[in-house]
Amino acid sequence: MPRFLHTADWQIGRQYVQFPPEDGALLAEARLEAVATLARLATEHAVDAVLVAGDVFDAQAVSARTIRRLFAQLSGYAGPWLMIPGNHDAALAESVWTSAMRIGALPPNVHLALEPAVLDFASLGFVALAAPLTQRHTYNDLTEWFDAAQTQPGLLRIGLAHGCVQGLLDEAIDSPNPIGADRARSARLDYLALGDWHGCRQVDERTWYSGTPEADRFRDNDPGFALLVDIEASGRAPVVTRIETGRFRWRTREAVVSVASDVERIAGELAGVQASDVLSLQVSGQVDLPGLVRLRDAIGLAEAGARHLQADLSALRLVPTAEDIAELDADGYLGELIAELRDAQSAKGDAAAAAVAAQALELLATFLLEGRTAVADP
């Protein structure tokens, strides 16, 4: 009974320039570690082959060192690794693949299809129909020829392709590269291994996106898996099992604050962050001064506990209460100014002037608060 491990979208060489270097370097390193994990899983589950459905590399201009390091991660599985280029590492005349071959980095058990090909693994009971991308974007379906491809009866027909199943993922997908929604049936495939959609997703009984083994962006589409695919015999439906491979958990959280308990709830969630969390937090609404202090403290602690936390409070409006302003202890000129702004904020008649006063009050309170925090925290 042939068994496969299906993976895609390794995106090796991806740079996380939007992150501080210490976080970005670890996230990039995790992509290589994910490949080592795949090799270990392939061996543990005794698969007949690993199917890598494109975007092994994130870019064509990956350093020789990174290319060598990637292929070194494969050493944990001695069986065949089937690879096709995707849109990020398309098989151009000069590509990351030609670089890899030039430096002799490809191990002998990597079976790379740089052009459309039927790869024969008769001794293992299957053939692979490979539809590599030879340019970054195409507008014709590169899997069309699968339908007419003749293969030896009795051998499983396994497809590998990278792109967008038509009518399914059009808006959100990485690239145009269309794939017929009915391809597995029309080409009599036992399994169609797809890449490009970074989340794990079933298309039909025989067609799956494995997703990327290690999340690389803030999109809640189920990344961080590989698929174990068991096919009892030609024509039988595959049994597909998701295996968790991801190390970091990327999440987005949008929170709205209107009452004090909202701040407590967010602080409670932040207290639960773990070293594997990469979190993007956006807070909107309005908050009083103690609420803002509490929120900033909770964010500060969570920043230290998470792999990465980016908090955006730009849509959160500070609305200090009268007690808050008294607490700021601003006397003399500042005290008069605050009182003036507070009156102007609630003055009736000129709405525009009231809004400006509210904004000025918020700024001033924030500066005073920050000054106080800075003194209290030498």
214 binds Mn ion (CB under 5 A): no
CA distances to 231, 285, 328 from 318, rounded to whole Å, are 59, 9, 14
- The residue number whose beta carbon is nearest to Mn ion equals 196
CA angle 133, 138, 140 (to 5 degrees): 105
Letters for 92-111 (x = contact with Mn ion by CB under 5 A, - = none) are --------------------
Mind giving me the DSSP string for 242-265? EEE--S-EEEEEEEEESSHHHHHH
For residue 98, the tally of other CB atoms under 10 A from its CB is 13
Range in contact with Mn ion (rule: CB under 5 A) among 55-63, 116-124, 164-172, 337-345: 55-63
Q: What is d(CA 128, CA 53) in angstroms, rounded to the nearest whole number?
A: 12
In terms of CB distance, is 196 or 216 closer to Mn ion? Answer: 196
In terms of CB distance, is 175 or 245 closer to Mn ion? Answer: 175
Letters for 117-156 (x = contact with Mn ion by CB under 5 A, - = none) are ----------------------------------------
CA distances to 36, 76, 90, 162, 353 from 131, rounded to whole Å, are 25, 26, 11, 8, 64
89 binds Mn ion (CB under 5 A): no
In terms of CB distance, is 196 or 262 closer to Mn ion? Answer: 196
Q: Give the residue among 47, 64, 34, 66 at the shortest CA–CA distance from 6.
A: 47
87 binds Mn ion (CB under 5 A): yes
177 binds Mn ion (CB under 5 A): no
357, 345 Cβ separation under 8 angstroms: yes
174 binds Mn ion (CB under 5 A): yes
For residue 15, the tally of other CB atoms under 10 A from its CB is 12
In terms of CB distance, is 55 or 262 closer to Mn ion? Answer: 55
In terms of CB distance, is 23 or 174 closer to Mn ion? Answer: 174
Q: Give the residue among 87, 73, 60 at the shortest CA–CA distance from 31.
A: 73
Range in contact with Mn ion (rule: CB under 5 A) among 52-60, 119-127, 237-245, 246-254: 52-60
State in angstroms the smallest separation of the CB of 268 from Mn ion: 38
State in angstroms the smallest separation of the CB of 30 from Mn ion: 19
86 binds Mn ion (CB under 5 A): yes
- Intra-chain end-to-end CA distance of the chain, in Å: 66
State in angstroms the smallest separation of the CB of 58 from Mn ion: 9
State in angstroms the smallest separation of the CB of 131 from Mn ion: 13
The site for Mn ion, by CB under 5 A, has a size of 5
262 binds Mn ion (CB under 5 A): no
For residue 306, the tally of other CB atoms under 10 A from its CB is 22
CA distances to 84, 179, 288 from 195, rounded to whole Å, are 10, 11, 48
Residue 356 is which amino acid?
Answer: V
User: CA 123, 129, 134, 140: dihedral to nearest 10 degrees?
Assistant: 180
55 binds Mn ion (CB under 5 A): yes
State in angstroms the smallest separation of the CB of 82 from Mn ion: 17
State in angstroms the smallest separation of the CB of 337 from Mn ion: 56
23 binds Mn ion (CB under 5 A): no
User: Tokens representing 165?
Assistant: 């199943």
Among 196, 214, 262, 288, binds Mn ion (CB under 5 A): 196
Residue 223 is which amino acid?
Answer: P
216 binds Mn ion (CB under 5 A): no
In terms of CB distance, is 86 or 223 closer to Mn ion? Answer: 86
In terms of CB distance, is 210 or 345 closer to Mn ion? Answer: 210
Residues at the contact surface with Mn ion, assessed by CB under 5 A: 55, 86-87, 174, 196
